[in-house]
Amino acid sequence: MVITHRLDTVAVVLHRRTFAISACVAMAVLVAPLGTPPATAAANAPALQWRSCGSGFECSTLSVPVDWSQPAGPHVALAVARHPAEDPSQRLGSLVINFGGPGDPGAESLRQGVSNFPAVIQQRFDLVSFDPRGTGQSRPIACVDDATYDRALAADPIPQNVQQLLSFYAGTNGPVDLVQACINRQGPWLADVGTRNTARDLEALRVALGERTLNFLGYSYGTVLGAVYAQMYPNRIGAMVLDGAVNLSSTAASELHDNAAGFEQALDAFLADCAARTSCAFHENGNPRAALLALQQRFETGYTVPVFDGRQAGATLFYLALAGGLYDRKTGWPFLAKSLAAAEHGSGDGIAELADTLTGRDPSGHYDDLQEALATIRCDDRHDPLVSFAQYVATYEQYSQEFPIFGGFLASSPLGCDPRLPVPPAAEQVGNVRVTAAPPILIVGTTGDPATPYAGAVDLQSRLRRSRLLTLVSTEHAGYGKGIPCVDSNVDNYLLTRRLPPVGLRCQP
């Protein structure tokens, strides 16, 4: 994690690639064998009008067309935030950051953790982020209220019999039909929030910032946005860093399998580390795996633990907490161990805190609509048909056996997009991204990344001509901004000078 997201106790999941809770529409991956349409030029966006919004930040809004093919039609206002360069005399320009999701509200995420970026980057760049269309304060895809989300997250996340499998497949297992709620509230807007439109918005932001070229840092889903922007605007790139790459060659099925394998392997590494150290809070006499399996069984049979804010943490928050803790080795693992030990003894505070970073729940109990945006954006980018019930059941049974901790949880939602959702034109889907004319782009890949496995970074390098891959040998999601000297120094040098690190460089944490 680059920075702490809403928490002071553990750095988890700012560049989020988030699980969908079972009440949400099933998600698809981001590549389709389609031709790529010509880029629509960004409007001549006027300069942004900045206002102080506290703690050294400035905020603004950027007005962009809802439909870029109709620039004179309805517009949407995008929330933008920046932290001006701390050494104006040495300022190099703006660095625009996307923290992932898709759906992370970047303007808020930047405010939460700007201090975790390397000091030299804070000194030399205006750090800028924005809430992409459909997220945060940019006409968010808000479909249900906070109380409904709390009820959804309190529901059983794993089907136990044929009747429950049918309800999970139909999306009726939770307290609300989230797809229908989104359609009722958002209508055609659901088809306008795909990555190609966001790339056009990003180009308009570059113009409004007054930058000749775009300097961009994208984490997780932000690597998709960066790659699509590079395809559409190859001559507008200054420096671009893509960290924790989504695998653009994956199918929906292979991505699900890779995610399940990635989280299961990261969990194995966490448990092995905990077993080897008596100081680990979940050491459990050298057998934390047995203790975890026992705790999992308790949660799956109805165990709940109280949370300080009045909630009861059950099985869904347990699985989300496991995932949240695995995103970051340095701080996430110790906090996860403490949270599991506390849950064994009747306290849900830690697992709720970890789960909240993934669901976007703040201390006031408000959710940031990431789940709705994530599912919708991904189906705009690739509208895979919903799998049959028989295929869903077969996948669920396979994953429950193959991945004993995460398999059933991850496979509880069927692959594909709900047929009720509005569908963007085929040319607006992501398609087969290839870039040949852009300047050299730096890719950072972590060998044991549980959320976006390393194969995605290798694949992305093959798609972006002249790109360079920096490898972090570790088990966590993404690598830059975590205080790992080898990674930070090489990325910093590239951002400052455009000089790529040596070919084949492998860093250790």
One of 356, 459, 477, 492 is an active-site residue; which one? 477
Q: What share of the chain in percent tops pLDDT 70?
A: 92
Reduced to 3 states (helix: H, G, I; strand: E, B; else coil), residue 60 is strand
User: Is 55 within a domain?
Assistant: yes
- Dihedral sign (CA 294, 295, 301, 303): positive
For 156-161, what is the mean pLDDT? 93
* In 305-461, beta strands by DSSP E: 305-306, 312-313, 442-446
User: Can you give the residue range of the structural domain that contains 91?
Assistant: 51-138+190-250+428-507
Reduced to 3 states (helix: H, G, I; strand: E, B; else coil), residue 269 is helix
Counted domains in the chain = 1
- Dihedral sign (CA 146, 102, 444, 402): positive
Q: Tens digit of pLDDT for each residue in 141-156? A: 999 999 999 999 999 9
Q: Could you tell me if 206 and 236 are in contact, meaning their C-beta atoms sit under 8 angstroms apart?
A: yes
Q: Tens digit of pLDDT for each residue in 412-421? A: 999 999 999 9
For 342-359, what is the mean pLDDT? 96
Q: Is 449 a catalytic residue?
A: yes
pTM: 0.91
CA 241/CA 269 separation, integer angstroms: 27
Beta-carbon contacts of 90 under 8 Å, excluding residues fewer than 6 positions away, are 123, 124
CA 223/CA 246 separation, integer angstroms: 7
Please give the full DSSP string across 477-498, using - where no structure is assigned. Answer: S--TTSS-HHHHHHHHHHHHH-
User: Is 227 within a domain?
Assistant: yes
Q: Could you tell me if 155 and 316 are in contact, meaning their C-beta atoms sit under 8 angstroms apart?
A: yes
* In 227-355, beta strands by DSSP E: 237-243, 305-306, 312-313
User: Is 15 within a domain?
Assistant: no
Which pLDDT score is estimated for 10?
28
- Dihedral sign (CA 462, 463, 466, 472): negative
Q: Tens digit of pLDDT for each residue in 307-339? A: 999 999 999 999 999 999 999 999 999 999 999
Instruction: For residue 232, count other CB atoms closer than 10 A to its CB.
Output: 22
CATH number at residue 500: 3.40.50.1820
Average pLDDT, the chain: 90
User: Is 333 within a domain?
Assistant: no
User: Is 103 within a domain?
Assistant: yes
395 vs 8, more confident: 395
Q: Tens digit of pLDDT for each residue in 433-471? A: 999 999 999 999 999 999 999 999 999 999 999 999 999
Which pLDDT score is estimated for 181?
92
Beta-carbon contacts of 472 under 8 Å, excluding residues fewer than 6 positions away, are 444, 445, 446, 447, 479, 484, 486, 487, 506, 507, 508, 509
370: confidence class by pLDDT, cuts 50, 70, 90: confident
Q: Tens digit of pLDDT for each residue in 68-89? A: 999 999 999 999 999 999 999 9
CA 290/CA 177 separation, integer angstroms: 37
Q: Which residue has the tokens 């049959």?
A: 388
Task: State yes or no: pLDDT of 168 exceeds 80.
Answer: yes
User: Is 100 within a domain?
Assistant: yes
User: Is 466 within a domain?
Assistant: yes
Q: Tens digit of pLDDT for each residue in 421-440? A: 999 999 999 999 999 999 99
User: Is 265 within a domain?
Assistant: no
Pairing between β-strand 125-130 and β-strand 51-52 as defined by DSSP bridges: unpaired
Task: State yes or no: pLDDT of 3 exceeds 90.
Answer: no
Q: Which phi-psi region, left, alpha or beta, contains residue 77 (left: φ > 0; alpha: ψ -120 to 50)?
A: beta
The half-sphere exposure of 306 on its side-chain side, counting CA atoms within 13 A, is 3
Minimum mean pLDDT range among 5-19, 263-277, 364-378: 5-19
Which pLDDT score is estimated for 23?
32
Instruction: For residue 165, count other CB atoms closer than 10 A to its CB.
Output: 19
Q: Tens digit of pLDDT for each residue in 183-209? A: 999 999 999 999 999 999 999 999 999
One of 22, 94, 220, 400 is an active-site residue; which one? 220
Q: Could you tell me if 236 and 211 are in contact, meaning their C-beta atoms sit under 8 angstroms apart?
A: no
One of 192, 449, 459, 492 is an active-site residue; which one? 449
Q: Could you tell me if 10 and 353 are in contact, meaning their C-beta atoms sit under 8 angstroms apart?
A: yes
Instruction: Give the C-alpha distances (Å, rounded to integers) separating 501 from 490, 494, 507.
Output: 6, 7, 11
Please give the full DSSP string across 74-92, using - where no structure is assigned. Answer: -EEEEEEEEE--S-GGG--
Q: Which residue has the tokens 């408000």?
A: 366
Q: Tens digit of pLDDT for each residue in 279-313? A: 999 999 999 999 999 999 999 999 999 999 999 99
